[in-house]
Amino acid sequence: MESIYSPEKQSLVLGGGCFWCLEAVYQSWDGVLSVTPGYGGGTLARPTYEQVCGGETGHGEVVQVVFDPARLPLDLVLDIFFAAHDPTTLNRQGCDLGSQYRSLILFGDRAQEEAARAAIARHQPDWPDPIVTQVGPLDRFWPAEADHWDYYRRHGGAPYCQGVIGPKLAGLRAAFAGHPRLLPEGDGDD
């Protein structure tokens, strides 16, 4: 799957822990055209969830966020990313442990790389520890199996959704309260 670039849409591949969380986060924003969970940053072609979770493929659990930059600028996409996870923990987000849960930005062009590096510098003062987010070129994005798509919307009552994703969304709603591009609760995250 290729990155998508045009005046009306761009794509960026992001990893910040479990892809179910980031998928739900970005589905909450006007200007996001699609969010696809998958795998990136590794060496194995067509990896499976089980292979990635085994930690031997080098892939991270990521989402491909396709967005309209006129409605949701790249800098805001990155600000949401840094608000949605702890970019200072190496290979870990909460109880999720392993290199597949690392903080990762896979860019498609030089402008995205520069924006990613600027976002790290902009957000470093927000954290007491150094940001360890990996930034690199997108080699290939592999969509996850269909049962991982729209996970929070389909399984909102599941313990992981209630205990991890729901509170994460509530925190982001508080952090971005009143932002004109944040969809009303229920429009994107239920």
Q: What are phi and psi of 168, to 5 degrees?
A: -60, -45
d(CA 2, CA 87): 26
Q: Give the residue numbers annotated as catalytic, written as ranges.
A: 18
Q: Which residues, in sequence order, are bridge partners of residue 100?
A: none
The structure tokens 């600028």 sit at 73
Q: Is the pLDDT score of 190 beyond 60?
A: no
How much is the pLDDT for 5? 58
| pLDDT tens-digit map of 139-164 | 999 999 999 999 999 999 999 999 99
Per-residue DSSP letter, 88: T
Q: Is the pLDDT score of 6 beyond 80?
A: no
Q: What is the mean pLDDT of the chain?
A: 93
Q: Is the pLDDT score of 84 beyond 70?
A: yes
Between 7 and 188, where is the model more confident?
A: 7
How much is the pLDDT for 4? 60
d(CA 65, CA 71): 14
| pLDDT tens-digit map of 28-72 | 999 999 999 999 999 999 999 999 999 889 999 999 999 999 999
Q: How confident is the model at residue 113 (pLDDT cuts 50, 70, 90)?
A: very high
How much is the pLDDT for 94? 83
Q: Is the pLDDT score of 1 beyond 60?
A: no
Q: Which amino acid is at 39?
A: Y
Q: How confident is the model at residue 3 (pLDDT cuts 50, 70, 90)?
A: very low
Q: How confident is the model at residue 188 (pLDDT cuts 50, 70, 90)?
A: low
